[in-house]
Amino acid sequence: MNHATPLRRTLTALTTTTLLAGGLLLGQTVTAEPAHAAGKKIVCNVPKMRQQAADLRSKAAQLQRLGATAEARKARGQADALERKAQACIDAEDSAPKPWK
């Protein structure tokens, strides 16, 4: 029976750890508030987003001229992300059901 005790302790500890970790993950997903339930209307300022993207692109060009390629790549990536977000806002607005139709 001496050989079963360490195995029993190990299995008990492993089971307890797994249950605690699963409970924490489940608790986080249950208590997290979904984006659509927040009650806030998402407003996209497309011209402002496009202007920010253009500013980032000009900053990227300047960084590229100065030889900072990694920073330029990061700025271009941020500009691309802003452009995609602006296009997503436009697409969402176009595909939303219109109350007057």
**DSSP code, position 35:** S
At residue 48, the pLDDT reads 94
Which stretch of DSSP H or E encloses residue 7? helix 4-31
* 8 Å CB contact between 79 and 60: yes
SS3 state of residue 3: coil
SS3 state of residue 43: coil
Q: What is the pLDDT of residues 47-71, one digit of tens each?
A: 999 999 999 999 999 999 999 999 9
Q: Sorting pLDDT into bands at 50, 70 and 90, what band is 87?
A: very high
Is the pTM value of this prediction over 0.85?
no
Task: Report residue 90 as tokens.
Answer: 């436009």
